[in-house]
Amino acid sequence: METEERNDFDVIIVGAGIVGCALARELSRYQVSVLLLEKNAEVGFGTSKANSGIVHGGHRAKTGSRKGSLEWRGNQAWDQLHRDLGFGFRRCGELTVAFNASELEILNGLLKEGVRKGVPGLELWDQATLRAREPALNPEVIAALYAPTTGVINPYEACFALAESAVANGVILRTQSAVTALERSAGVWCVQAGVGRYTSRYLINAAGLYADEIGRLAGTPLPPIHPRKGEEYLLDKQCAGRVERVIFPCPDPVSKGILVIPTFDGTIMVGPTATPVADKTDLSTTSAGEAAVFAGAQRLVPAINPSSCIAGFAGLRAVVASEDFELTVESERGIVHLVGIQSPGLTAAPAIAMEVVDLLAMCGMSVELKHDFQPALPPSVVFAALSRAEQMRLVAADARFGQVVCRCEQITEGEIAQAIARGARTLDGLKFRTRAGMGRCQGGFCTSRCMALLANAAGSSLEQVTKRGEGSWLVCP
């Protein structure tokens, strides 16, 4: 059905996670043709949708590392993207806590490092300040490092919005297009992806967990990627132990530890674990992981209780031995590999995108800005967030906003229709765009209604609607 469509591009990006989407959107500012390839049914359906959703403050990653420079630059890029694209993002700040003198020593080190990097607003808070401003915190915490630059973000919404903006500015997106063969000849990359065959001058490997495998197809030995699992648990909006800021334990060398995260949508999320696994498709949660997460979270905020859990999930970090981002450019072959982009990869994604554009320019790509680049997307209606008067006006104008589909999150049919119009193709895609089914009943009441609306829009039937793409059927085909 795509027979006569364009198949030759200046740039092909392999992987539409947060990095691929940010890059596609960044490249769409320029007079270059771009194809964004994704193996899943929708963008952001890999590691990008299953992480802590934090824009890190910028004071943590080591100076001198790739992470160190890109984290802070990325952090600073999110405000403008948020204004243009409207995904959920709020700078709520973070507290990294110390339970004893040696941990306090580490916080002092972080503070010094942050100040040296120019991260503004860092403060050490004493017990009295903590009690007043974050009363749910464990009273045994003796001090905490406050960073106002940290934010919470809905990473899946960021992926959807970046991809939508890229497409609006001319990028071609192909989902369900896993890359199976790569060939370079006569200065041109030839890419077999799904049922399509495409060519380009430049190729970007943004395949996340699978970047090493794409490297192999391209004939470039890359460091092997070792998945490291992170389990997260979401708590009911009514749960005890609400916090205003992201709460971190004092960091250890392996990970940032178990956090308590006030998500953009008003839930509390606790996690993640950090467990190496062999299988790149192992997204299972475990009893041990759950126990570790709740123990870790309760140490920070004692009122947190597993009984208020509404959902658990796991994501996989794409870890390489260096524990740093590895941006490898082969300028004569026109390929850039983005390897080991794990935490703080979400934070850094906009900065990585800008860096890759510089690298492509060095490879000879012309970087002429478009005159008609449209930075902003039309805003999405979030009915529950409107004032009563605005809600009344909207329902009067469009009765679909008077029909509540998801009762737990108060999502209207108007919002479902809007999400489908803007690209939702699966039940999960709808859920991550609108929150329908994300609340305390976990879709018990709205699933069939959402399925019917997806089927109607696609002119198909309930049997053809999937949870997250091929194979994940919901009712017997």
Partner 1 sequence: MAGLPLRAEYALVIIGAGPAGMAAAIRACDLGVSSILLIDRERESGGILNQCIHNGFGLHWFKEELTGPEYAERFAAELAKRSITLLTDAFVMEVDSNRRVAVLSAKTGLVVVSATAVILAMGARERTRGAIRIPGDRPSGVLNAGLAQKFVNQLGVLPGRRAVILGSGDIGLIMARRLTLEQVEVEGVYEIMPHANGLNRNIVQCLHDFGIPLHLSTTVVQIHGRDRLEGVTVAPVGPNRVPQLMHARYIACDTLLLSVGLIPENELSRQMGVALDPVTQGPVVDSRMQTSLAGVFACGNVVHIHDLVDFVSAEGTLAGEAAARFIQGESVAPDAIRLRPGAHVRYCVPHSLSPGRTQTVYLRVDQPLQRARLKIGPNEVKVLRYAFPAEMISVRVIPPVLEDVLSSSAETTTVGRTASQVIWDVEVHADE
Q: What are the residue numbers of the active site?
A: 56
What is the total count of residues that contact partner 1 (CB under 8 A)? Answer: 53
User: Binding partner 1 by CB under 8 A: which of 252, 399, 456, 460?
Assistant: 399
Give the DSSP letter of residue 307. Answer: G
237-to-83, 241, 267, 277, 420 alpha-carbon distances in Å: 26, 10, 5, 31, 26
Chain centre to alpha carbon of residue 214? 21
Q: Which residue has the tokens 């995904």?
A: 87
Residue written as token pair 């976990």 = 442
Binding partner 1 (rule: CB under 8 A), the pick from 234, 269, 297, 300 is: 234
Q: Which of 277, 442, 457, 464 binds partner 1 (CB under 8 A)?
A: 442
CB of 333 to partner 1, least distance (A): 34
Q: Is residue 285 a contact point for partner 1 (CB under 8 A)?
A: yes
Contact predicate 218/381, CB 8 Å:
no
Segment lying near partner 1 (by CB under 8 A), choices 18-26, 132-140, 269-277, 441-449:
441-449
280 binds partner 1 (CB under 8 A): no
388 binds partner 1 (CB under 8 A): yes
The residue within the footprint of partner 1, chosen from 196, 306, 375, 423 (CB under 8 A), is 306
Q: How far apart are CA 70 and CA 77, in angstroms?
A: 11
User: If binding is defined by CB under 8 A, does position 233 make contact with partner 1?
Assistant: yes
Cα gap 454→471, rounded to integer Å: 17
Q: Which of 142, 311, 354, 365 binds partner 1 (CB under 8 A)?
A: 311
Site for partner 1 in 401-420 (CB under 8 A): 402-404, 407-408, 410
Q: Identify which of residues 224 and 444 has a Cβ nearer to partner 1 in the complex.
A: 444
For 29, the token pair is 């500012």
Among 146, 156, 202, 313, binds partner 1 (CB under 8 A): 313
Q: How far is the CB of 426 from partner 1 (least distance, A)?
A: 10
Own/partner pairs, 24-27, CB within 8 angstroms, 24+ separation: 24/162, 24/163, 24/166, 24/171, 24/173, 25/162, 25/163, 25/165, 25/166, 25/169, 25/171, 25/353, 26/350, 26/353, 26/354, 26/356, 26/357, 27/166, 27/171, 27/353, 27/357
Among 190, 354, 441, 457, binds partner 1 (CB under 8 A): 441
Stretch of residues binding partner 1 (CB under 8 A), selected from 20-28, 169-177, 276-284, 345-353: 276-284
Nearer to partner 1, 62 or 400 (CB): 400
Given candidates 51, 275, 298, 447, which one binds partner 1 under the rule CB under 8 A?
447
- Work out how close the CB of 416 gets to partner 1 at its nearest, in angstroms, rounded to a whole number: 13
SS3 of residue 381 by DSSP: coil
Sequential DSSP letters for 63-78 = TTSHHHHHHHHHHHHH
* The one-letter amino acid at 355: E
Nearest to 449 by CA among 158, 242, 457: 457
Q: Is 202 in the site for partner 1 (CB under 8 A)?
A: no
Buried b (16+ CB within 10 A) or exposed e, 408-438: bbbbbbbbbbbbbeebbbbbbbbbbbbbbbb
Calculate Rg over the CA atoms of the chain.
Answer: 22
Look at residues 258, 263, 350, 280 and name the one whose alpha carbon lies nearest to residue 71: 350
Report which of 251, 323, 220 is spatially closest to residue 97, judged by C-alpha positions: 251
381 binding partner 1? (CB under 8 A): no
Shortest Cβ 211–partner 1 spacing (Å): 20
Q: Kindly state the smallest distance separating residue 406's Cβ from partner 1, in Å.
A: 10
Our CB check for partner 1 shows the closer of 185 and 307 to be 307
Considering the complex, what minimum distance in angstroms separates the CB of residue 457 from partner 1? 17
Q: Which is nearer to partner 1, 182 or 451 (CB)?
A: 451
Taking the complex as a whole, the smallest distance from the CB of residue 114 to partner 1 amounts, in Å, to 36
- By CB under 8 A, tell whether 475 contacts partner 1: yes
Q: Using CB under 8 A as the criterion, which residues of the chain lie in contact with partner 1 when the complex forms?
A: 233-234, 238, 281, 283-287, 289-290, 306-307, 309-313, 388, 391-392, 395-396, 399-400, 402-404, 407-408, 410, 427, 440-445, 447-448, 462-463, 466-476
